[in-house]
């Protein structure tokens, strides 16, 4: 059996060894194929995903590379750029609702951050700028970063690496869709209007990708659900669908930083706050640096010889070719005005203007790298000039001017209301081109001033003597104000018959040259920021006490200084307002003749001008009203920091306002007023709001008298004057006008609310508490409604530092030096005054009721009822 098995086995071996030739060839072929496949490398995840064959769209740059695949956005970053400082900004490129989003505007300051790699992920961190070390110390060097860790705001797992491992790729789709810091909308609230938005990611797309040497841009269509409300009471939109086309820019900041310049609260520049750690101090100090462009002479030797030198990197503004053709030259001239001031410090062509390039593939007006002057064809009567900085130095990286179409309407109203008494050109439905252009040039120059880092100086327009503004010689040389950064507007002081008087602000005022010197003049003898301090202090002290160089901060939440307000002219507000009111009466009397029915058949334009003239009248009254209880704020250099307005000036202001309240029927009794559509008489609105504002001044008088002490204008005199004027027609047994009845009612309501605040008056008159001292009313906010819109940066600063942030005047201190509100509770004795006023009013009404006519008797009886009820309850 074993032999048989062995024989069979041998036969099988022989058969296998003699396989046919075709079988051998097939086996060899199979072996070669397997060997070839084993040698061929597999395609990487990077190659598989980001190939054009797979539908990938790529924008490749030296800094970042962008990939779009299947609706997702991938960012490829070289590891060498991880940890580098970046600015990331979102700009509105287009919108389905201009009330929600403004084309060309950045709703948020650019995000200052960096990408870092940790634990197989990429994170975006918000950079915390470390305090300066005046005296480097090993312990502080080690511990400072530990107490200033950069917060992480976003993260994503690394998707893959490049084949050479030098780049990492991550999915950044959610970064640009869900991170609120990078949203062109998000949630914000300003001036009572709240906008809340939620993004709908499934309706969003990435559209156009661009990549360059130091920046990239991503253009997206983002879909939102938006709810807007006013004061939390009125819902304007609820879950409304809004599409926004946004351009996100990521800009690599230079490693070689600009030397910062110390700011000073005695001159009006936008600020960036810093901290310092000094071994000789007991605390971490704070200071501010000036927001400014990096401007250095190309030829330093020539500059130091006193010759003009072009800058290494000029400030270039790109002018939107969408501007109406006739506006472009005015815009260009307005921008270039500032070169006169830069020439004064040795720079040639520091500011330049170029039209939007037609054939430059890199140019994108919404890219953070380009500063643009944009035209927005929406019905907003304004312009604005925000700028954005490197938070570590204050270097301005980007600035834009946004000009809305209806700024033309604003200019039309300004020029007619303020200059029609002397300028025949403006007496038309449409402003002539020369008037429009000279006015628009001023608007652009003002907004570019913001882009250069300059804040409003509301004290400038109060520097010139009022009657000098009627002089042709003076105004042609100096204009209407020493700074175009005020809201000085146009020459409403000039009277009919004043020949040759200049009606516009100057090209640049002396204060504007001073601003440019402080922010931009090189100080080559200084090697550090701190070594510049003595030179800067000398520049400031050279002009101390000179009203032409005084800086007055814009007052928004707390208005106490009558010399630092909007829309005023001259050093005597009563005299200036007298001139202004006389001009308004002259204009109103001639309005129908200047603009006949043939040019305004539906009367719409004249009715609009009538409303603008009434608002202008209200501004003249407010300019006087602010002197009552007014306190002048100074910088403290060789003078007191606070000075109460002279008692006689306050006394005159009270009588002036009361005279306007008594003589206000002319507002309605004009040809244009009598042709208005259905409305409540404007006189009643004016009297109601102005008298309330006057009564509010009592708390201001309390504080001003406390500041002045000797020779002060006292609350007793203030209330006594109003009491005498309010009840004068009743004491004289005269029939009351509607305005007089209104003021008496308001006065009684104020009495009651002051000593019996729980009682409710029929008209809802507000209680005069300590919180109302110097706080503007809603009426005043509406009156100056043109002013908040250009203040995007100002509002942002307030949101950051708070209204109560008060800096110091000296170097080494931070902040905008906003005047904080003052609580006068401990010095306020006015409830007893109001109680006395209530008692006197009751006695007078008892005597006069029986002698009054039927209408006045009913009025008196109602006031008596309220007073007796309040006094009895008390």
483-524: per-residue pLDDT in tens?
A: 999 998 899 999 999 999 999 999 999 999 999 999 999 999
pLDDT digits (tens, 9 = 90+) for 353-403: 999 999 898 899 988 899 999 998 888 888 888 888 999 999 999 999 999
Say what the pLDDT of residue 714 is.
Answer: 98
Sign for the CA dihedral angle at 118, 122, 127, 133 comes to: positive
523 by DSSP, 3-state: which?
coil
DSSP-assigned beta bridge partners for residue 355: 319
658 within 8 A of 722, measured Cβ to Cβ:
yes
Count of CB atoms situated within 10 Å of the CB of 749: 24
Taking the domains of the chain in order of start, what are their residue ranges? 58-256, 559-786+829-874
DSSP-assigned beta bridge partners for residue 404: 376
d(CA 348, CA 331): 20
* Helix H or strand E encompassing 799: helix 792-801
SS (H, E, C) 527-566: CCCHHHHHHHHHHHHHCCCCHHHCCCCCCCCCCCCCCCCC
Does the structure show a pLDDT above 90 at 35?
Answer: no
d(CA 523, CA 236): 53
Share of the chain above pLDDT 70, in %: 84
649 within 8 A of 624, measured Cβ to Cβ:
no
Does the structure show a pLDDT above 70 at 189?
Answer: no
Could you tell me the pLDDT band of residue 55, with boundaries at 50, 70 and 90? Answer: confident
Count of CB atoms situated within 10 Å of the CB of 695: 24
* DSSP per-residue letters across 177-227: HH-GGG-SS-SEEETTEEEEEEE-GGG-EEEEEEE-SSEEEEEEEEEEEEE
**DSSP secondary structure letter of residue 646:** P
Dig out the tokens for 38 from the structure.
Answer: 């084993």
Could you tell me the pLDDT band of residue 140, with boundaries at 50, 70 and 90? Answer: low
pLDDT digits (tens, 9 = 90+) for 295-339: 999 999 999 999 999 999 999 999 999 999 999 999 999 999 999
210 within 8 A of 217, measured Cβ to Cβ:
yes
Average pLDDT value over all residues in the chain: 86
Helix residue spans in 120-279 (DSSP H): 138-147, 173-178
* Helix H or strand E encompassing 652: helix 647-662
Say what the pLDDT of residue 501 is.
Answer: 97
**DSSP secondary structure letter of residue 525:** T
Does the structure show a pLDDT above 50 at 808?
Answer: no
* Helix H or strand E encompassing 120: none
Comparing 240 with 840, the larger pLDDT belongs to: 840
Could you tell me the pLDDT band of residue 558, with boundaries at 50, 70 and 90? Answer: confident
What is the mean pLDDT of the segment spanning 235-244? 86
Count of CB atoms situated within 10 Å of the CB of 720: 15
Count of CB atoms situated within 10 Å of the CB of 570: 28
Residues 6+ positions from 323 with CB-CB distance below 8 Å: 331, 375, 403
Say what the pLDDT of residue 285 is.
Answer: 78
What is the mean pLDDT of the segment spanning 798-809? 30
802 within 8 A of 815, measured Cβ to Cβ:
no
What is the mean pLDDT of the segment spanning 257-265? 95
d(CA 870, CA 839): 11
SS (H, E, C) 760-771: CCCCCCCCCCHH
Say what the pLDDT of residue 793 is.
Answer: 36
Could you tell me the pLDDT band of residue 26, with boundaries at 50, 70 and 90? Answer: low
What is the mean pLDDT of the segment spanning 723-736? 96
Is pTM beyond 0.85 here?
yes
Which of 416, 458, 649 is CA-nearest to residue 567? 458
d(CA 815, CA 519): 17
**DSSP secondary structure letter of residue 112:** E
Comparing 559 with 454, the larger pLDDT belongs to: 454
Dig out the tokens for 738 from the structure.
Answer: 């509607």
Say what the pLDDT of residue 378 is.
Answer: 85
- Characterize the bridge pairing of strands 371-376 and 401-404: parallel
């Amino acid at each position: 059996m074993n032999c048989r098995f062995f024989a069979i086995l041998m036969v099988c071996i022989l058969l296998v060894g003699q396989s046919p030739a075709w079988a051998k060839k097939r086996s060899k072929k199979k072996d070669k194929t397997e060997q070839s496949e084993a040698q061929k490398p597999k395609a990487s995840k990077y190659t598989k995903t980001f190939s054009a064959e797979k539908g990938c769209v790529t924008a490749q740059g030296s800094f970042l590379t962008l990939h779009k695949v299947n609706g997702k956005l991938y960012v490829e970053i070289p590891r060498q750029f991880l940890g580098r400082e970046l600015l990331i900004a979102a700009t509105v490129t287009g919108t389905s609702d201009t009330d929600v989003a403004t084309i060309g505007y950045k709703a948020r300051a650019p995000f200052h951050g960096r990408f870092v790699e940790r634990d197989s992920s990429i994170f975006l961190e918000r950079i915390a700028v470390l305090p300066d070390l005046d005296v480097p110390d090993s312990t502080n060097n080690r511990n400072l970063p530990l107490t200033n860790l950069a917060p992480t705001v976003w993260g994503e797992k690394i998707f893959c690496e490049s084949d050479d491992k030098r780049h990492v790729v991550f999915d950044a789709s959610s970064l640009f869709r869900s991170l609120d810091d990078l949203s062109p909308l998000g949630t914000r609230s300003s001036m009572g209007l709240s906008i809340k938005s939620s993004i709908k990611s499934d309706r969003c797309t990435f559209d156009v990708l661009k990549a360059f040497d130091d920046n990239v841009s991503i253009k997206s269509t983002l879909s939102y659900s938006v709810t807007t409300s006013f004061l939390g009471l009125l819902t304007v939109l609820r879950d409304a669908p809004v599409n926004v086309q946004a351009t996100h820019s990521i800009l690599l900041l230079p490693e070689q930083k600009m030397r910062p310049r110390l700011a000073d609260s005695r001159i009006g520049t936008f600020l960036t706050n810093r901290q310092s750690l000094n071994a000789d101090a007991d605390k971490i100090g704070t200071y501010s640096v000036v927001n400014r462009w990096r401007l250095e002479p190309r030829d330093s030797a020539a500059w130091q010889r006193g010759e003009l030198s072009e800058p290494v990197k000029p400030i270039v503004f790109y002018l939107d070719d969408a501007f109406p053709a006739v506006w472009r030259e005015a815009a260009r001239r307005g921008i270039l005005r500032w070169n006169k001031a830069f020439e004064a410090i040795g720079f040639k062509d520091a500011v330049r203007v170029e039209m939007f390039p037609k054939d430059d593939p890199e140019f994108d007006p919404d890219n953070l790298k380009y500063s643009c002057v944009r035209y927005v064809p929406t019905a907003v009567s304004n312009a604005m000039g925000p700028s954005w900085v490197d938070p570590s130095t204050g270097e301005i990286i980007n600035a834009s001017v946004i000009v809305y179409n209806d700024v033309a309407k604003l200019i039309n109203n300004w020029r007619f209301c303020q200059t029609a008494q002397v300028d025949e050109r403006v007496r038309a439905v449409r402003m002539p081109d020369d008037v429009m252009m000279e006015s628009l040039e001023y608007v652009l120059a003002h907004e570019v001033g913001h882009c250069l880092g300059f804040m409003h100086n509301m004290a400038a327009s109060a520097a010139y003597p009022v009657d000098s503004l009627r002089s042709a010689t003076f105004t042609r040389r100096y204009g209407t104000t020493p700074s175009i950064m005020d809201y000085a507007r146009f020459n409403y002081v000039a009277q009919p018959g004043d020949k040759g008087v200049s009606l516009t602000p100057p090209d640049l005022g002396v204060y504007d040259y001073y601003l440019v010197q402080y922010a931009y003049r090189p100080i080559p003898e200084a090697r550090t920021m701190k070594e510049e301090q003595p030179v800067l202090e000398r520049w400031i002290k050279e002009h101390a006490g000179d009203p032409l160089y005084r800086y007055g901060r814009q007052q928004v939440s707390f208005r106490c200084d009558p010399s630092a307000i909007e829309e005023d002219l001259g050093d005597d507000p009563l005299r200036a307002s007298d001139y202004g009111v006389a001009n308004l009466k002259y204009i109103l009397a001639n309005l129908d003749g200047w603009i006949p029915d043939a040019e305004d058949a539906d009367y719409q334009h004249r009715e609009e001008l009538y409303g603008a003239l009434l608002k202008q009248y209200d501004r003249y009254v407010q300019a006087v009203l602010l002197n009552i209880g007014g306190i002048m704020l100074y910088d403290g250099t060789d003078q007191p920091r606070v000075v109460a307005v002279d008692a006689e000036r306050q006394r005159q202001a009270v009588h002036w306002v009361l005279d306007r309240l008594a003589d206000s029927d002319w507002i309605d009794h004009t040809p244009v007023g009598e042709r208005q559509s259905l409305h409540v008489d404007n006189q009643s609105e004016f009297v109601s709001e102005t008298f309330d504002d006057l009564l509010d001044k009592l708390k201001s008088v309390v504080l001003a008298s406390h500041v002045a002490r000797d020779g002060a204008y006292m609350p007793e005199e203030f209330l006594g004057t109003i009491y005498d004027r309010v009840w004068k027609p009743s004491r004289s047994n005269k029939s009351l006008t509607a305005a007089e009845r209104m003021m008496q009612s308001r006065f009684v309501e104020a009495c009651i609310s002051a000593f019996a605040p729980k009682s409710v008056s029929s008209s809802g008159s507000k209680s005069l508490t300590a919180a109302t001292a110097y706080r503007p009313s809603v009426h005043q906010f509406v009156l100056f409604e043109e002013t908040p819109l250009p203040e995007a940066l100002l509002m942002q600063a307030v949101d950051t530092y708070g209204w109560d942030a008060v800096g110091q005047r000296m170097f080494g201190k931070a902040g905008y030096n906003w005047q904080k509100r003052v609580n006068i509770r401990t010095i306020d004795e006015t409830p007893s005054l109001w109680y006395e006023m209530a008692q006197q009013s009751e006695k007078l009404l008892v005597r006069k009721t029986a002698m009054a006519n039927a209408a006045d008797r009913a009025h008196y009886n109602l006031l008596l009822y309220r007073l007796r009820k309040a006094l009895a309850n008390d």
